[in-house]
């Protein structure tokens, strides 16, 4: 999709493509590098260059970005004595090693602007000032070290640090946010430009959270204001959001990412946002001479109104007339002329006489997405299923006399960790209640291999607990608790010491009689059997015995498989998973991501039901679809759909650029 996405960005007036560099993807094991396929960073940058655009390479290598573990590879966790993102020798060694690897790779391909390439900026670290105070005196030392380390790699182009007001010279401090024209304190040195590395076009969405809609008018207002205040660079975060395939999202973040961006998840134009910003970009570029070479002045033209004027010696002039009144139209006087400004808007006068553009006046027609059903998977004989065995204590060779931390135990090889134990009550336990406390994200509880109940936390809470009435048998009872992570944390200080998983487990028989299993002999199993056998791969399907779908009520932890043909045409494709509850999907061995339809928003809606299947993943016929369902979803209601656009009030749909 790279070529098409870059082309649409260029058509929208974008000059620079900014990308993070994902340490966990490119160095999955220490010293083992992967730049193949979707991870081919050089190929991506050369595609940008081929289309005549520039690159900002945000190496980080901490990136946050709602990406699992903030982009760190999990092996970093086990480096002796390591503390991330501070004046810590083990961390600095690996950070410098990876940063140097990326810079040298770019140099070897001649990709820096100093070599005639497209990379005009690099970023080191990411929003560090948010956590700097937690590291006390070691924070500022680390900032200076990181800046010096980057500069000494001699890329020949500037380095930036976002949200770092004290970025050491010559590294440029930049702004992130939605209103940097209002919030940015400016460069910390007169020889640095005013730059905005993240203009949030909407906001990321979490399971259980509603989407955040930011209007085209609001984005345009703040872009124009930043330019009026001598801003020289604005990057949209995100211009195209895309899809978090596999297990790449951070904690609770949905698989769809920044779908409200000017280019939506599928790479389709989101109008009027894309078109309105395109018009603004054209307007600003047409005024480039006075903006770059003119002298700026600003003065009041009303109680909530301001004029910013750039005038060049040859007479070239541009004016930005700002109305900060969000409630009403205002008529202002400027250079002996009257101009009416819409509420919360900026009028741009490219000759200081005629108002040609107003940020609040949108002329681009809105569009909407149309989902067209192409296939229902509603026939029982289309599907086969394989049920996971529920492990008990005797099945597990990994043992501990305490509750192990989830992430350290799984090493991020799986979302899933089984905690199991066996016990026999000493006396009668008439109304037992299982109490579980967890700092993970989801818990599924089983007693004697029978599913009892599931519970979960949320993005805004730290941990959760469950109290579940259970039934015990006479004799030995096997308790199996599945702890599930939905992405690793991506931000905050001391990421290396975060705790997840079960923290307390008891069975209460009466008010006075409680069995506490917190410090008890536990058995552990990392991951699910189907994951270990990779039953989502064609060559591994025969590793397990698939059977016809049964109609029992106990459907938890079931794998389903079927095949399908690709819809004709080139419209984007999505699976509608609204009949499922929680799990993951694979198409032709490629993970489409996690789904969690059963986690509803405050308005009672799933956060996401449509899951993007890129056409490049598909064959014309015989595509393998494998679904892991954790709870009780119904695969017979899954459907395959194409996605297209239609102009509002227009019968004609399109999914390419409009003429």
Whether the bond into 272 is cis, omega within 30 of 0: yes
Which residues partner with 369 through β-bridges?
A: 645
The predicted structure's pLDDT at residue 553: 66
Query: Rounded CA gap, 98 and 30, in Å?
Result: 10
Point out the least confidently predicted range of 322-331, 390-399, 521-530, 641-650.
641-650
Q: Residue 382: CA atoms inside 13 Å, Cβ hemisphere, count?
A: 19
Which residues partner with 187 through β-bridges?
A: none
Provide, rounded to the nearest whole percent, the portion of the chain with pLDDT above 70.
98
Query: Rounded CA gap, 262 and 3, in Å?
Result: 17
Give per-residue pLDDT as tens, 529-549.
999 999 999 999 999 999 999
Q: Work out the pLDDT band at 658, boundaries 50, 70, 90.
A: very low
Helix (H) or strand (E) holding 274: helix 273-286
Query: Rounded CA gap, 426 and 403, in Å?
Result: 23
Closest listed residue to residue 304, CA positions, set 326, 278, 282, 336:
326
Q: How many CB atoms lie within 10 A of CB 189?
A: 13
Helix (H) or strand (E) holding 525: strand 522-526
Q: Work out the pLDDT band at 649, boundaries 50, 70, 90.
A: confident
Whether the bond into 61 is cis, omega within 30 of 0: yes
Point out the least confidently predicted range of 72-81, 96-105, 266-275, 645-654.
645-654
Residue 613's Cα: distance from chain center in Å?
17
Query: Rounded CA gap, 591 and 425, in Å?
Result: 43
CA distances from 8 to 43, 119, 233, 351, 637 (A): 18, 20, 19, 29, 35
Helix (H) or strand (E) holding 283: helix 273-286
CB 141 within 8 A of CB 168: no
Burial of 596 (0-12, 13-18, 19+ CB in 10 A): buried
CB 338 within 8 A of CB 271: no
CB 593 within 8 A of CB 245: yes
Q: Which of 11-15, 430-434, 552-556 has the highest mean pLDDT?
A: 11-15
**DSSP symbol at 600:** B
Token pair, residue 392, equals 């008990």
**3-state percent helix, strand, coil for the chain, nearest multiple of 5:** 20, 35, 45
3-state secondary structure 246-263: CCCECCCECCECCCCCCE
Which residues partner with 373 through β-bridges?
A: 641
Token pair, residue 95, equals 């950070």
Q: Work out the pLDDT band at 314, boundaries 50, 70, 90.
A: confident
The predicted structure's pLDDT at residue 650: 54
**Does the structure show a pLDDT above 70 at 640?**
yes
Beta strand 573-576 with 610-613: parallel, antiparallel or unpaired? antiparallel
Give per-residue pLDDT as tens, 571-600.
999 999 999 999 999 999 999 999 999 999
Q: Cα dihedral sign for 48, 267, 577, 565? A: negative
Q: End-to-end CA distance of the chain, in Å?
A: 20
Q: How many CB atoms lie within 10 A of CB 575?
A: 24
Number of H helices, E strands in the chain: 11, 34
Residues with a catalytic annotation lie at 127, 198
Q: How many CB atoms lie within 10 A of CB 412?
A: 18
Q: What would the mean pLDDT of 547-573 be, rounded to a whole number? A: 92
Tell me what the pLDDT averaged over the chain comes to: 96
**Does the structure show a pLDDT above 90 at 51?**
yes
């Amino acid at each position: 999709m790279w070529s098409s996405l870059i082309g649409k960005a260029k058509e929208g007036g974008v000059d620079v493509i900014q990308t993070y560099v994902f340490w966990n993807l490119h160095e999955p094991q220490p010293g083992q590098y992967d730049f193949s396929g979707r991870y081919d960073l050089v190929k991506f940058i050369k595609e940008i260059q081929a289309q005549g655009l520039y690159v900002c390479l945000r190496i980080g290598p901490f990136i946050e970005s709602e990406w699992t573990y903030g982009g760190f590879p999990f092996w970093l966790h086990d480096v002796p004595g390591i503390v991330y993102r501070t004046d810590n020798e083990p961390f600095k060694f690996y950070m410098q090693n990876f940063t140097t690897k990326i810079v040298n790779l770019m140099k070897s391909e001649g990709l820096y602007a100093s070599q005639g390439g497209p990379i005009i900026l690099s970023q080191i670290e990411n929003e560090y000032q948010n956590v700097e105070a937690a590291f006390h005196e070691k924070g500022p030392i680390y900032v200076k070290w990181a800046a010096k380390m980057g500069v000494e790699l001699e890329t020949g182009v500037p380095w930036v640090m976002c949200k770092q007001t004290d970025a050491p010279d010559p590294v440029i401090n930049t702004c992130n946010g939605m209103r940097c024209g209002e919030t940015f304190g400016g460069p910390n040195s007169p020889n640095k430009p005013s730059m905005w590395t993240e203009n949030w076009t909407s906001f990321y969405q979490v399971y259980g959270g509603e989407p955040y809609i930011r209007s085209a008018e609001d984005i345009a207002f703040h872009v124009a204001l930043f330019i009026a205040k001598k801003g020289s660079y604005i990057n949209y975060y995100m211009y195209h959001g895309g899809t978090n395939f596999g297990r790449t999202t951070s904690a609770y973040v949905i698989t769809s990412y920044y779908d409200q961006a000017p280019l939506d998840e599928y790479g389709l134009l989101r109008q009027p946002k894309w078109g309105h910003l395109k018009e603004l970009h054209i307007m600003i570029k047409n005024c480039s001479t006075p903006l770059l070479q003119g002298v700026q002045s600003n003065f009041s033209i009303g109680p909530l109104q301001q004029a910013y004027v750039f005038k060049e010696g040859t007479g070239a002039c541009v004016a930005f007339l700002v109305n900060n009144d969000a409630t009403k139209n205002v008529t202002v006087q400027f250079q002996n002329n009257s101009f009416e400004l819409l509420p919360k808007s900026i009028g741009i006068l490219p000759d200081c006489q005629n108002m040609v553009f107003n940020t609040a006046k949108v002329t681009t027609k809105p569009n909407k997405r149309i989902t067209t059903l192409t296939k229902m998977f509603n026939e029982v004989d289309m599907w086969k299923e394989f049920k996971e065995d529920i492990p008990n204590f005797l099945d597990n060779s990994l043992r501990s006399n305490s509750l192990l931390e989830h992430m350290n135990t799984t090493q991020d090889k799986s979302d899933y960790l089984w905690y199991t134990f066996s016990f026999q009550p000493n006396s009668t336990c008439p109304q037992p209640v299982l109490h579980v406390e967890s700092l993970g994200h989801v818990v599924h509880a089983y007693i004697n291999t029978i599913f009892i109940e599931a519970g979960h936390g949320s993005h805004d809470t730290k941990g959760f607990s469950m109290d579940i009435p259970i039934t015990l048998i006479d004799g030995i009872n096997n308790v199996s608790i599945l702890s599930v992570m939905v992405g690793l944390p991506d931000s905050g200080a001391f990421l290396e010491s975060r705790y997840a998983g079960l923290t307390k487990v008891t069975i209460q028989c009466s008010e006075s009689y409680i069995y506490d299993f917190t410090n008890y002999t536990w058995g552990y199993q990392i991951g699910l059997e189907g994951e270990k056998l990779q039953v989502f791969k064609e060559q591994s399907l025969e590793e397990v015995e698939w059977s016809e779908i049964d109609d029992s009520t106990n459907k938890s932890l079931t794998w389903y498989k079927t095949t399908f043909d690709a819809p004709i045409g080139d419209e984007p494709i999505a699976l509608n998973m609204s009949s499922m509850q929680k799990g993951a999907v694979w198409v032709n061995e490629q993970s489409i991501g996690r789904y969690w339809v059963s986690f509803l928003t405050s308005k009672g809606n799933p956060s996401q039901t449509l899951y993007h299947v890129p056409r490049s993943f598909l064959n014309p016929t015989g595509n393998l679809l494998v679904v892991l369902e954790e709870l009780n979803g119904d695969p017979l209601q899954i459907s395959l759909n194409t996605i297209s656009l239609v102009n509002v009030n227009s019968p004609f749909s399109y999914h390419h650029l409009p003429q």
